[in-house]
Structure 1
Amino acid sequence: MPDSSAFDDFIAALPAERQPIAAHVWQLVRRAVPPGYTEHIGPKYLEFRAGPDMYVGLANQKGHLSLHLVPMYLMPALQEQLAAAAPKLKMGKGCVNFKRMEELPQEALRELLAATPPAEYAARLQAVRSASRKKD
């Protein structure tokens, strides 16, 4: 786990109204992510990775926070489950955009994050990459 000062610095750099929301969401992520992923804190993202590959990341965007959920991109059924839990949630193929905590279906997020152990995630990611190369 990165030192807490890096996390505190990341949160402090956010607009004041987003700081408690981002901190709360990231604590939810920390509790839900299966063991074996590593946490990284950079200037633009809070991330959990499987090796060099992002599993989940939190970023501050111009008008919202964005939770990047790569498993949702790799496994569309997870996106469908999240959409069913919160039909009005602003989602892309692999991200959820939000301004308030109330917008997020917290239990559905926990389930999505906990669903894929690192070895399974790495295997799925490799399979997608291999399939993509074969198309080229």
Structure 2
Amino acid sequence: MKYEANSPEGYISQLPEDRQEAMERLRTTIKGNLPEGFEETIAYGMIGYVVPHRIYPSGYHANPKEPLPFMSIASQKNFIALYHMGIYGSPAILAWFQEEYPKHVTTKLDMGKGCIRFKKIASIPYDLIAELCRKITVEDYLKKYVFEVGKMSKK
């Protein structure tokens, strides 16, 4: 579902009550564990965590006016979603996450390339998400991003 909001607080205030609590806890978990340099914003109709232009002036290659996206959370119709570019871009972090997930949650992992879907709100593994947040620094993410964009431009 798409919510029109100008701030993370505005986004969360529009959600059903049970989703508000889970999204606020997820937001607090992310903010408390993301390495320094990432910035919280509203991006693409979701609560986003980005590398701001003050750190990476080039912005997102698909739209340089936008800061470089890293992570987002959203309340969708049937689930809460966590989008994480580090999982998408790092086979080692993906493998780590897939191995760790069953140690924290009894339900099967439901994910796409970089999207993790939580259909049961009570099963969101906040501790695991906190650990995932600490896995990639802004510097590490930028190195990988610049390398991958460079490969794309050579094609």
| Shorter-chain TM-score tier | 0.7 to 0.9
Pairing of 1:86-97 with structure 2 (within 5 A):
86-87=101-102, 88-97=108-117
Q: Is the 8 A contact 1:40 1:47 kept in 2?
A: yes
Cross-structure match for 2:141: 121
TM-score, with length taken from structure 2: 0.75
Q: Quick check: 1:47 aligned with 2:62?
A: no
Say which SS state the counterpart of residue 37 (structure 2) adopts: coil
Tell me what 1:67 maps to. 82
Structure 2 runs not aligned, ≥5 long: 1-5, 53-66, 103-107
Query: Aligned in 2, Cα 1:96/1:12: closer, same or farther, shift over 3 Å?
Result: same
Instruction: Name the CA distance, whole Å, in 1 between partners of 2:44 and 2:84.
Output: 19
- Greater helix share, 1 or 2? 1
Deviations 1:39-72 (A, max 9, x none): 1135721111113111111112221111111111
**Measured at CA, do residues 42 and 93 of structure 1 come closer, stay the same or move farther in structure 2, by a change above 3 Å?**
closer
1:68-89, Cα deviation, whole Å (9 max, x unpaired): 1111111121111111122412
Q: How many residues align?
A: 131
TM-score, length-normalised on structure 1? 0.85
Give the aligned residue type for 1:56: M
Shifted more, 80-89 versus 66-75: the winner is 80-89
Distance 2:110 2:40 in 1: 25
